[in-house]
Structure 1
Amino acid sequence: MNRLSLTTKLLLSGGAALVVLCLLLPGSPLFGERQASSQLTLYSAASTRKPMEQIVEMYRTECGVSVQTQYGGSNTLLSQLEIARQGDLYLAADASYVAFATEKGLVEQVVPLARMTPVVAVPKGNPLGIRSFDDLLEHRVALANPDQAAIGRVTREVLEAAGKWKTLDGQIRNHGVYKPTVNDTAMDASLGSVDAAIVWDSVARQYDNLEIVRLDELSAGEGLIAVGVLKFSKDPAAARHFARYLAASDRGLAVFAREGYAVVEGEAWGE
């Protein structure tokens, strides 16, 4: 599927009205609703694991609700949701996946959270001097599978537009490695199993022994992290409550910002 503009991704609903709760203003369906469930189930992109683990614990302590979280590639999780049709929320590393989920009748409300940019992660000091796309082609590169994870799909799309995807794909298949998630590729770069990894900038910042190289060829790519409330949630009010907590400027968004994500504008938390 061709890449959609961010606005189109969030508004696309496959014929049904998609409620986009960008500003979370008082009077919206998220306000005035308290959680009733003692546990929620969240399917979350692996790239958000570090902030989400903190937010989930904060929410349990503050609101008394546990959030059981399953991490994986955005597309892999979407496929699981299509089959299982169970759970309460779906958090993807790119809003297009939530838009696809809405088209498929899985999601009814969407809340955007933060933006990420694809970059090259290399060992601290960049010992191999990787500074350009051509440099990258001379080394072992890791990338998350484009059919499983948002970073892989975004990378493939921007490089296809630049006419450079086939070259990189060949290099990875012959001398590098495809992994299930962006976290796996970043770990490979951190351990020295590969010379470089294409990852989200926010993920690269989580490793003290890695540094970021920005390439012009990847600069057009972007991942818009968004969470969707699933239509088959057994307690949609509780799911919306947690979504609002995620998008509160002094709760979820504050954690995302502290971990290096470029967060959207949000309102302060309040019951």
Structure 2
Amino acid sequence: MKRTWILAVVVFGMILAGGAAHGAERLMILCGAGFKLPMEEVISSFTRQTGVEVNATYGGAGTLLSQISLSKQGDVFVAPSPDFMEKARSRGHILRESIKGFGYVVPAINVQKGNPKAIRSLRDMARPGIKIALGNPETVFVGMLGVEIIEKGLNPQERDALKKNIVTYGEDFNKLASLLLLKQVDAVIGFSSMSGWYPDKVETVKLNSREIHRIGVGQAAVLSYSKSKPAAERFIGFLASREGQSVFKKYHYFGTVEEANAWIGEKKPVGGEYRLPPEWFRK
């Protein structure tokens, strides 16, 4: 894992150096992978309208924070939860006054189109023969949410059965989606928005409202290391604008916390850290 971060930092620095060498106005965005598809569309529109070239790196929020700590480079950090943004602020990585929110995410079960294994609930994921993927709970926001949902929503026997069904831990949300698309797993604990990414290949199964303990919200902030702060602020403004929000709505993200809670059927807190039980830490 450490070698992967170092390689990412080297590539990251080469991209930034290339932009400086050509004298072009460029931005580097470090973005949680749960926003990848709509973010690519937002970046394309922003570049077309402003001429600013934007490069983006996607990954688990914890991994991105580690990259920022190592490289101390980049222009914008996009996190899936206020808790990750607070960690970035406490480490001096971001300009606090620049933080803007742009889209809410709700945990859900994602399955292959047609739901061939008839997975209708969290308990169904504990049935024998079901192949499951979770995000790495140490670095991926939706992985941490998944562990909390499992730990609080199942009895010990069901929990043990479900854990036996976990065949892999994805390094980010995009990897979880790929595992479903390739039919390598039957279900993941992801976000309701995944079926907005791939409506012809993925379905969303709602969790019971009692099984959802918190939701996330996309937040973007200017990195304190940015050498293009005005352009970074313009990008964040565009991301939070009506045009930017419309892109996320198209991909089934919620525009307000009220919309997210209405879909759940109950009010839920936004963010809030969950301490992983020791047995979930990967060795």
Return the TM-score normalized by structure 2.
Answer: 0.74
Give the alignment partner of residue 246 of structure 1, picking from 239, 252, 255.
239
Mapping of 1:112-261 within 5 angstroms?
112-138=101-127, 139-162=130-153, 168=159, 171-172=162-163, 175-207=166-198, 208-216=200-208, 218-249=211-242, 251-261=243-253
Distance in 1 (CA, whole Å) between partners of 2:65 and 2:121 is 34
Deviation at 1:166, TM superposition (A): 9.5
Structure 2, unmatched stretches of 5+, are 1-22, 258-283
The answer to whether the 8 A contact 2:111-2:188 is kept is yes
Q: Give the match's secondary structure for 1:69.
A: strand
Relative to structure 1, is the Cα distance of residues 166 and 146 closer, same or farther in structure 2, using a 3 angstrom cutoff?
farther
Deviation at 1:163, TM superposition (A): 6.2
Relative to structure 1, is the Cα distance of residues 164 and 95 closer, same or farther in structure 2, using a 3 angstrom cutoff?
farther
The answer to whether the 8 A contact 1:110-1:226 is kept is yes
Cα offsets for 1:47-81 (capped at 9, x unmatched): 11111111111111101101110111111101111
Deviation at 1:37, TM superposition (A): 6.8
What code does the residue aligned with 1:131 have? R
Return the TM-score normalized by structure 1.
Answer: 0.78
Partner of 1:85: 72
The answer to whether the 8 A contact 1:142-1:176 is kept is yes
Give the alignment partner of residue 263 of structure 1, picking from 242, 255, 263.
255
Partner of 2:280: none
What code does the residue aligned with 1:130 have? I
1:111 aligns with 2:103: no
Distance in 2 (CA, whole Å) between partners of 1:256 and 1:93 is 13
Cα offsets for 1:109-128 (capped at 9, x unmatched): 21111101111111222222
Structure 1, unmatched stretches of 5+, are 1-35, 266-271
Deviation at 1:198, TM superposition (A): 1.1
Q: Give the match's secondary structure for 1:54.
A: helix
Q: If each structure's helix is expressed as a fraction of its own residues, which one has the higher value?
A: 2
Deviation at 1:162, TM superposition (A): 4.4
Distance in 2 (CA, whole Å) between partners of 1:173 and 1:156 is 14
Relative to structure 1, is the Cα distance of residues 166 and 180 closer, same or farther in structure 2, using a 3 angstrom cutoff?
farther
The answer to whether the 8 A contact 2:110-2:194 is kept is no
The answer to whether the 8 A contact 1:123-1:211 is kept is yes
Partner of 2:46: 59
Distance in 2 (CA, whole Å) between partners of 1:50 and 1:62 is 19
Distance in 2 (CA, whole Å) between partners of 1:161 and 1:174 is 18
The answer to whether the 8 A contact 1:156-1:165 is kept is no
The answer to whether the 8 A contact 1:112-1:264 is kept is no
RMSD after superposition: 2.3
Distance in 2 (CA, whole Å) between partners of 1:88 and 1:166 is 47
Distance in 1 (CA, whole Å) between partners of 2:219 and 2:80 is 7
Distance in 2 (CA, whole Å) between partners of 1:85 and 1:164 is 44
